[in-house]
Amino acid sequence: MKWAALHDAAAVVASLAGHPPEARKAEIRNFPALARDAGGWRYDEARRGVDDLAAMMEPGLSALLAVHARGLSAAPAAHALWQEFVAARAVLLELVPPQGLKRLG
């Protein structure tokens, strides 16, 4: 559930940055199950990584919404947060072994 909530928050960040809505690919949607199936250290790292990503996104989104509520442009800061989110998510997705991704095809 936290993974889905992160992507809902990221969608708001993307919108504030002026980016179009992101199509969620299967590897993104299914990441929690794939990480769980991988088990062991990969699952542990995935759980910690998702928690870290949430810790980054929560205050960032709150700040962006506060700026936006004041009628100021949050676009530059939202763009930076969006880039950080995408980069961190890419690292997390690399935790899934390639054979896990083949199941999606």
Answer whether 36's CB lies under 8 Å from 84's CB. no
Alpha-carbon torsion angle 61, 63, 69, 74, nearest 10: -80
Answer whether 24's CB lies under 8 Å from 104's CB. no
pLDDT in tens, 3-26: 999 999 999 999 999 999 999 899
Q: Does residue 105 carry a pLDDT above 50? A: no
pLDDT in tens, 37-59: 999 999 999 999 999 999 999 99
Answer whether 42's CB lies under 8 Å from 35's CB. yes
pTM to 2 decimal places: 0.88
Q: End-to-end CA distance of the chain, in Å?
A: 24
